[in-house]
Amino acid sequence: MKKIFLLAIIILFASCKKDKEPEKTSLNLKQYTIEQFMDNEAIGGGSFSPDKSKLLISSNKSGIYNMYTVPTSGGDFTPITASDSSSIFAVSYFPNDERMLYRADGNGNEIFHLYLRDLDGTIKDLTPDEGARATFYGWSHDGKSFGYGSNKRDKRYMDIYEMTIDNMSSELIYQNDEGYNLNAISNDKSLLALSKIITRTEVDLYIYNRTDKSYTKINESLSSNSAQDFSLDGKTLYYTTDEGSEFSHLMKYDISTGLKEKVLEKNWDVMGSYLTHNSKYMVTYINEDAKNVIEVKDTESGENLDLPDFNNGDITNVGFSRDETMMRMYVGSSKTPSNLYTYNLQTKEHKKLSNVLNKEITPDHLVEAEVIRYKSFDDVEIPSIYYLPHQASKDNKVPAIVMVHGGPGGQSRQSFRSLTQYLVNHGYAVLAVNNRGSSGYGKTFFQMDDQNHGEKDLQDCVEGKNWLAAQPEIDGSKIGIMGGSYGGYMTMAALTYTPEEFAVGVNLFGVTNWMRTLKSIPPWWESFRLALYKEMGNPHTADSIRLHRISPLFHTDKVTKPLIVLQGAKDPRVLQVESDEIVAGVKKNGVPVEYVLFEDEGHGFVKKENQIEANSRILKFLDTYLKNLSST
């Protein structure tokens, strides 16, 4: 049974700088409305139909994610579902017929179920247990079943099941009583690759033999490890590890002898790798300076394929047909949302299937990301992504935003984001910081903020503000801070603990009371809970003293700058009460505070109508309290 390689990189806050070109002055640069920016289409997935004539994808073109099909030779998108409430995300065609799998939750509550759409269009919930979440693990090699996880037995842990597709009956194949995470299943289903999270930087890797119930530990020292795929014959496990290195590299492990061999090492993290259905190709993802680099290797020759060259974009994600003759690709950049292509590996022809950028937007009016680095207070180098508006110059200084990614441990990446481009188009520079504790820059950098949140990581953001203020195109008196989740926490920490550094704050569903958040994490995070406690502190111990000290909710009297807070009522990670209370606390200071609450959203806003409202409110807030602020 193949592992489905899911690259889940949350694209959070990319930004950039570009030299001025004479034809792009503020005199002829067009400013676009949020409706125009949000009329871009977001698409994802791409499962080939058995005859390779169509791809099954997800798209938000209706305003809410639904399933669509599109001919692999090009043509119109055909809607398959028409949800007007919960988003629907395509998982896969069935291997030998055109039945479909998809997943959906309850308006962002993250209780996902797996659904079957039958050939006659009827829908069946395959995992109907109330309050239990399910996740798809992959098809068996023979295409007669698929693996999935469910926490219906114990809300803390995901047990592993196999569902046969002739009658859709399921069987428990691994009872998970110790909080393991499934990484891969061998094709004969006898071996499971399981990981055990100890800390953020220590993840142990095991092979579980279903026949003799034995566990074999793969890593020999404290390191972060993740299984990627079993070989076709089940004799070899491929895995990534940072054992003995700053960055993760790709290894292979001989299951019978225990011998290990390095397969691929870069000066960046190898994020993941998988083999195509019959192992003709190996696909590997590298996180190169906050951008995906993809290598596709012919396993027989050992040579990497020469993939199509896209001058105005990078290949960010690929997938293959089961017969390994066709590939689908996503191609995008920091100034272009990703488009879907097919590529015929035999004829070397590629076909563009989508054009997701709104036709009313001129691509040259958008801004390309630039990676910059600056020294923090203690000379630690902070990598960041910079967007500088085309209209900015030393004679036309612009306001700026320090943007903080989610996490902790996320990464600002060189990827398209409508909100960022919208703000830049309206005259705001954006610096998306990768403060210490961000992923992608080695394990030493990643660990630098452990039990240090709201302190050194906050100083990195302040130094980012100082870097901005030193740029000749920036009005140093008009710099705000913005972020979501952990980035929202950093926004509130900045306004609370460094109240004079930033002129305004934009808090999107940010943590403000760490003790409550750490005590109320969803039960299905149990395998990660202790690692989170080791990183942040245990709220049930003396660590609570520090957690109280770094929680902005208890220090709202220090906030003096305008604030806007945006929150989803269904958010299971950062509860609505976090935002309710921070708004109430700051209002007592007589400080301008705005609050935007969405009743039908979770941890992040996925419905276009809500995205339009949120982003337009953010720009209006910034125009009122930052752009129109009197310069000093």
Which segments of 345-459 are extended strands (E)? 350-352, 370-375, 381-387, 398-404, 429-433
Query: Across residues 196-214, what is the average pLDDT?
Result: 95
What's the pTM? 0.92
Give the strand pairing for 429-433 and 381-387: antiparallel
User: What's the mean pLDDT when you consider all of the chain?
Assistant: 93
Q: Is the pLDDT of residue 424 over 90?
A: yes
Helix (H) or strand (E) holding 208: strand 202-209
Neighbour tally for 486: CB within 10 Å: 24
Structure tokens at 54: 């169509």
Q: Is the pLDDT of residue 9 over 80?
A: no
Q: How confident is the model at residue 452, as a pLDDT?
A: 84
Give the strand pairing for 429-433 and 398-404: parallel
Q: What confidence category does residue 1 fall into, taking pLDDT thresholds of 50, 70 and 90?
A: low
Q: Please tell me which residue, 366 or 311, carries the higher pLDDT value.
A: 366
CA distance 181 to 175: 12
Structural domains in the chain plus CATH codes: 363-513+551-627 (3.40.50.1820)
User: Model confidence over 534-561: pLDDT tens digits?
Assistant: 889 999 999 999 999 999 999 999 999 9
Compute and round to an integer the Cα radius of gyration of the chain: 24
Q: How confident is the model at residue 531, as a pLDDT?
A: 85
Q: What confidence category does residue 393 fall into, taking pLDDT thresholds of 50, 70 and 90?
A: very high
Q: How confident is the model at residue 450, as a pLDDT?
A: 86
Q: Which residue has the tokens 């080791």?
A: 534
Structure tokens at 165: 């597709």
Q: Is the pLDDT of residue 5 over 60?
A: no
Query: Across residues 133-152, what is the average pLDDT?
Result: 98
Q: Which amino acid belongs to residue 148?
A: Y
User: Model confidence over 487-520: pLDDT tens digits?
Assistant: 999 999 999 999 999 999 999 999 999 999 999 8
Closest alpha carbon to 272 in 563, 3, 545, 521: 3
